[in-house]
Structure 1
């Protein structure tokens, strides 16, 4: 149990943890266990496309407040089967949007030139479909800044061959690539691009880069391939951020293992 003060009020808080195993069925069971066994008054979650929406749906069904983050809000709304402007009763989500990611990435592209043809490496899942969405995706932001997206359509994960995409990117003069690929797929793309003589000046990638890729795969060949790539991402948290909790005064540095 932890004792937390907010102004003059003190709260006794017990934190119970359940593992979703990154599987929707396990995530749903975890929510039911938290509510039935641990008597949770609020559920906190951060996860991917399928798991986060499962947790949110379970909390809506059980009438338990759910607070989630680290997931673009457009993806959250769509994964929950809603549309922008929809009002949820028990679930609350706070995070940046895909437009914010696009702005951050475009700013990085512009550090090596004003306008670029940018090759897109986006999958056939909800993630990829939203990234290419005409209203909520990358295009409105990047085209307004003068960039041209070379979108060659969705690919299925895990990928087995990117050579046709590599050839098209070479033909279209895409010297920058943007992606939300897994570490394994991005390594495969970079390997085949390198073998074909395409060396992107910059690859902007979200998803697994929010954590070190050493945590998502132990394959040394993937590590070696990505170490040779010019990959960058946005940083939304680090131990060096100068923020302090308003509840207990904890700093970002204090939370680093």
Structure 2
């Protein structure tokens, strides 16, 4: 797989040449593009509708439809004028190269003013690369800030047009350590880390970040996404009471079923990425009971949309009623992407990319995923805004609305999110 910096380089060069001739990308006075005075704001959304990362984009179509309907009835008020909002969504197909290509297409062919994206570093990093190359504002989420910001070496990238909101590895490590502390264990953990940007970042940072927990992490080596036989990992994990990792959903389904077959039974398992989604948990059946994961967003959180006025619970209810599916964590963050975009453009007063990025650099907005503010936290790069994080366990329901409920069991970093149960050991 090519690195994000090499993706669609030819398209980027062409776009820059066009910009040099025209003075802006796609700019005209009737809408779309980067010139000021437009009456239409055009937003490009790089989604993950298909492929291995499709659960991250499961709610995106619902949110895009919701936002199109909302803005049709509620034009965006900018500088005392009503602006139309156009949203163009394209599928990255869970592929990094494709993510960069569709971002370039949104810039070159569709003349978007802003690009938004979510769904792991594999997607948001190449999208950001294209926006940086073409001087287009980019707003991203659903990736820990480290693999988004630190792409080459140990120093954060120098990003000008990309703004990201999410939590960091230091936060998820603290939540996981809190969960471990509530289950008696032998202080030994197995690390299930894939050879992708998330796995590389988690495996490199978690041992130090959780050192004070008293749990030592054994990483038998990074595995390739799509692995079908986890016998080597399971052999290394035998006797370790704690399991952690950040696999993609289908890989954890394979791993956990093999773990049961081969007799590996940790007392607590905290798994990022794979256990975020009801569909992935249901694919495991009863053996998913009491598996734990981070909780970035939940309907019980006391947050409200700055656009629609919906509470987190009302947004989740609307999603379940509209789709017939259980709410899923990326729902709130997909919605928040449009809250941030609207607030930034209103603050900027134009679609000029320099104005929008300047507005983002000090933007503060209360969203359905919590308060988001850039430029106020010296512990992260200036283009990163951190969001609240809790921890939860999936629990089998007895005749409930859904086969499993995600129960919040740790709120050490988000005390405003109510705890709904105690941490329980795995059966």
What TM bracket, shorter-length normalisation?
0.7 to 0.9
Partner in structure 2 of residue 30 of structure 1: 102
Aligned to 1:212: 278
Query: For 2:90, what is the secondary structure of its paired residue?
Result: coil
Which residue of structure 2 lines up, in the alignment, with residue 252 of structure 1? 312
How many equivalent residue pairs? 244
* Pairing 1:146–2:214 present: yes
Is 1:223 equivalent to 2:284 in the alignment? yes
Which residue of structure 2 lines up, in the alignment, with residue 233 of structure 1? 293
Q: How does 1:110-121 map to 2 (within 5 A)?
A: 110-113=181-184, 116-121=187-192
* 8 Å CA contact retained: 2:191, 2:218: yes
- Asked whether 1:87 is paired with 2:87, we answer no
- Structure 1 residue 97 and structure 2 residue 134: aligned? no
Alpha-carbon distance in structure 2 between the residues aligned to 1:87 and 1:125: 22
The DSSP-based 3-state class of the residue aligned with 2:218 is strand
Pairwise CA distance, 1:98: 1.2
The structure-2 alpha-carbon separation of the partners of 1:26 and 1:157, relative to structure 1 and needing over 3 Å to count, comes to closer
Matched position secondary structure for 1:108 = helix
Contact 2:186 2:240 (C-alpha < 8 Å) held by counterparts: no
User: Cα offset for 1:115?
Assistant: 6.1
Matched, 1:161 2:161: no
The Cα of 1:37 is off from its aligned counterpart by: 4.4
Unaligned runs of 5+ in 1: none
CA 1:82 to 1:174, structure 2 compared with 1: closer, same or farther past 3 Å?
A: closer
**Match 1:182 to one of 238, 248, 257:** 248
Structure of greater relative contact order (alpha carbons < 8 Å, 6+ residues apart) = 2
Q: Which of 36, 46, 49 is equivalent to 2:121?
A: 49
- The farther-off stretch of 8-17 and 155-164 is 8-17
Displacement after TM superposition at 1:214 (Å):
4.0
In 1: Cα distance, 2:105 partner to 2:199 partner: 32
Worse overlay, 138-147 or 107-116: 107-116
Compute the RMSD of aligned alpha carbons. 2.6
1:109 Cα deviation from its structure 2 partner: 0.8
**CA offset digits 1:186-240 (Å, max 9, x no partner):** 233333332333211221111132222349xxxx8x533743x541101111223
How far apart in 1 are the matches of 2:237 and 2:280? 28
In the alignment, the residues of structure 1 paired with residue 261 and residue 276 of structure 2 have an alpha-carbon distance, to the nearest angstrom, of 28
State the Cα distance separating 1:127 from its structure 2 match. 2.1
Distance 1:183 1:50, change over 3 A: closer
Counterpart CA distance in 2 for 1:206 and 1:29 is: 27
SS of the residue aligned with 1:61?
A: helix
What are the residue-to-residue correspondences of 1:55-66 with 2, within 5 Å?
55-66=127-138
* Structure 2: 5+ residue stretches without partners: 1-71, 320-427
Task: Give, in whole Å, the separation in 1 of the partners of 2:261 and 2:275.
Answer: 24
Give the structure 2 partner of residue 71 of structure 1.
Answer: 143
Q: Is the 8 A contact 1:46 1:69 kept in 2?
A: yes
Distance 2:308 2:155 in 1: 34
Contact 1:124 1:155 in 2 (8 A): yes
Of stretches 140-149 and 152-161 in structure 1, the one that deviates more from structure 2 is 152-161
TM-superposed CA distance for 1:155, in Å, is 1.7
Q: 1:32 to 1:168 in 2, by over 3 A?
A: closer
| Superposed displacement of residue 168, structure 1 | 2.6
CA separation in 2, counterparts of 1:70 and 1:11? 30
Range that drifts further, 247-256 or 174-183: 247-256
Q: Please give the secondary structure, in 2, of the residue aligned with 1:14.
A: strand
Contact between 1:53 and 1:76, CA under 8 Å: does it hold in 2? yes
* Candidates 69, 75, 89, aligned match of 1:3: 75
Name whichever of 62-71 and 30-39 sits farther off.
30-39
Map residues 130-141 of structure 1 onto 2, 5 A cutoff.
130-133=201-204, 137-141=205-209
C-alpha distance in 2, partners of 1:210/1:9?
41
SS of 1:238's equivalent in the other structure is coil
